[in-house]
Amino acid sequence: MKVLVINCGSSSLKYQVLNMDDESLLCKGLVEKIGIEGSMLTHTKIGADKFVVEAPMKNHTDAIQYVLDALVDKDHGVLGSMSELGAVGHRVLHGGDKFTASCVVDEACKQAIRDCFPLGPLHNPANLMGIEACEKLMPNTPQVAVFDTAFHQTMPAESFMYALPYEYYEKYAVRKYGFHGTSHRYIAQTAAKMLGKDPKELKIISCHLGNGASLAAIKNGECYDTSMGLTPLEGLIMGTRCGDIDPAAIPFIAEREGMTLKEIDTMMNKKSGMLGVSGVSSDFRDVENAANEGNERAALAQKMFVHRVKHYIGAYIAEMNGCDAIVFTAGLGENGKTMRKWICEDMDYLGIKLCDKCNDVRGKEAFLNTEDSKVKILLIPTNEELMIARDTVELTAK
């Protein structure tokens, strides 16, 4: 079965088509500037050159129509006709506490995505627009929604509750949800395969370290705790997000700077993190280059990032009473060998020993631990699209 995977943003859309008979990637692409001037589709058939279409696309239906045209294009396409497409899988950011797994799109599913608009105000409306555009253009093709939050729904209440007055949980569902769930689930399954064990026998710490970053404590194949919260702001220091801070810093700064809550929110999400501390960039490579050239704030941002990751690893080992494997994934986790080295440094008390020679690797599945390390250290390139496509096949084949 061939599956189209769509990740719809408010003005952009990423897609892939996978042949699920052998899980191979057939093509991928990106539509940018939907609904604004300069709309553009960049389509790449695997093994061929990029194909660019510049045309006005006033909404997501227009954009998806251009994607479908590219998929059946006689030179750049990967489908003989649209009937070859078995199903569409959509990445949806927020499923609140309604979705513990992926689901086939129907009216109830769409309403539940709508109900979660307050929790994912930027992403959920765009995700739903993508779903509705596909319904319009492919009314007979089944669709599946895969939620970033679903994997974390197994967290026990002591992991997900905030110690605020209980009424805010009851009235507004204010609690930890966690994100990157599809990636953490892929990591848990792939790590178990690499270790030759059943996921139910394992305690894993999955470190998704990219521009957005989160850790998940995965016990017996289920999420036990994760570092992102009600929103993706909580937890690790990220490209432009501050991660954990004393919440009292918010009124303290707001009073002195005369900032509104909205301005504070923007500052914490867009101007903080590696960018805010280093003053150089949100990109870990730029920060690394600046630190190597003697920029002290860039070096400080790196140290703070490492410190926070170590903090969570320690916490999760304590919470799970052990750890069989730590896994690194996403842009920095897959490529940043210096960061991996620093994170694993001086952790031998916890049985974590990185092998420097094994760590000299990028972007492929590998074991990074020494022979005598109690905890295995793994590198696994994440593949959220494949996970979405697998769920899509499983649910639509039923």
Chain residues binding ligand AMP by CB under 6 A are 210-211, 239, 283-285, 330-332, 335-336
Task: Annotate 66-99 with DSSP letters as a single string.
Answer: HHHHHHT-TTT-S-SSGGGEEEEEEEES--TTT-
Which CB atom, from 130 or from 239, has the smaller least distance to ligand AMP? 239
Closest approach of Cβ 239 to ligand AMP, in Å?
6
Closest approach of Cβ 252 to ligand AMP, in Å?
29
Active site residue 148: yes
Which CB atom, from 76 or from 208, has the smaller least distance to ligand AMP? 208
Q: Which of 123, 126, 10, 138 is nearest to 67 (CA)?
A: 138
Tokens of 16: 């892939």
Which CB atom, from 12 or from 211, has the smaller least distance to ligand AMP? 211
Catalytic residue among 148, 244, 246, 283: 148
Distances (CA, A) of 128 to 123, 125, 196, 217, 367: 9, 5, 39, 30, 39
Q: Determine phi and psi for 379, rounding to 5 degrees.
A: -110, 125
Contact 165, 351 (CB under 8 A): no
Say if strands 376-379 and 325-329 run parallel, antiparallel, or are unpaired: parallel
Which CB atom, from 153 or from 282, has the smaller least distance to ligand AMP? 282
> Based on C-alpha coordinates, what's the Rg of the chain?
21
d(CA 284, CA 286): 6
Closest approach of Cβ 333 to ligand AMP, in Å?
8
First to last CA, the chain: 13
Residue nearest to ligand AMP as judged by C-beta position: 331
d(CA 259, CA 267): 10
Q: Determine phi and psi for 16, rounding to 5 degrees.
A: -145, 150
Closest approach of Cβ 127 to ligand AMP, in Å?
19
Which CB atom, from 14 or from 33, has the smaller least distance to ligand AMP? 14
Closest approach of Cβ 325 to ligand AMP, in Å?
20
d(CA 349, CA 339): 19
Catalytic residue IDs: 148
